[in-house]
Homo-oligomer: A and B are copies of this chain.
Amino acid sequence: MRIGFIGLGSMGAAIAANLIESGHEVHVFNRSPARAEPLREKGASVASTPAQAAQGTDVVFTMVADDAALDEVTLGEKGIFAGLRSGALHISMSTVSVAAAQGHAEMHRKAGFGFVSAPVFGRPDAAAARKLFIMAAGADEHLKVAVPLLDQLGQSVGIVGADPSQANLVKLIGNFMLSVIIETLGEACAVAGKAGLDPMHLVELLTSANFNAPPYKIYGSLIASQRFQPPAFALPLGQKDNRLMLAAAEALGVPLPLAGLIHDRFLTLRSRGIGADHDWSAVALCALSDAGLTGQERGI
């Protein structure tokens, strides 16, 4: 299939490479063109605008940083809308706000394009290994096109429903739940550390028992060893998703005390100089630092 792919960060690049490997004709675009070169070597055509990447395709994927970037590559002067043929499909994999997804669903419908939200769970290594968990939502006719493609990119595709924005809500809820796991492990490792129990041993014991889901294993190991660099999911991105979750919940009238706590953890870290060069699992540093277990040497 002829496919456009816009946004070649560490997640997007891995997914686009898999589409190429699966035999699709992929036209890529990235704001800073250098990141497109490795894809060109794998066989992609490199477009100079989103409109050009979308031209002549049946499906265009986007995997960009935030609402503003999605607006720009879609609605900007040289955006997708300026190149996509009527009736073609836009699969938005970015973690954007529920409100943005609602707006795009409506605008695409009016403009005669299909729109599917398909945000993903998984870090870049999972994307490369086609191990992503993908949440997809959109009209049946659009899912019929999207799901077979998404099946090639991850280990499972969950069908959320007909409203694209609900896939984004599920993604935000999922990231919220991951952030709580990070905080939980931070507090648990703080207790263990001060009790003279090796935090890594604690994590092994628990993840060999009923806490045997991937997030406990991945984040447990990072937190127990206080290994927060380099980032696989950079702290400011996690902070952005926390804000999106709180905004969605506020609009729905739902208090989320857990997300409020994490919100403050992010602010604390940023104000102490911990930023984009750290993984978001560094949220656990707050609990460790408040217990007196770390700090000075890290500047927090």
Contacts and interface: CB of A to CB of B under 8 A. Distances in A.
Contact of A248 (B183, B191, B213, B287): B191
A254 B122 contact: no
Given A158-B208, A258-B184, A296-B299, A250 B267 contact: yes
A78 to B, nearest CB: 31
A169 interface: yes
A173 B158 contact: no
* Size category, A interface: 35 or more
Contacts of A253: 194, 267, 270-271, 291-292
B213 A212 contact: yes
B214 A202 contact: no
A156 interface: yes
State the 8 A-B residue pairs at the shortest beta-carbon distance, nearest first: A271-B292, A133-B209, A213-B213, A255-B264, A158-B205, A194-B252, A255-B267, A253-B271
B121 A183 contact: no
Contacts of A205: 135, 158, 160, 170
B214 A210 contact: yes
A68 interface: no
Chain A contact residues: helix, strand, loop or mixed: helix
B166 A195 contact: yes
Contacts of A201: 160-161
A212 B174 CA distance: 12
A177 B184 contact: yes
Contacts of A196: 166
A273 interface: yes
A192 interface: yes
Contacts of A75: none
A257 interface: yes
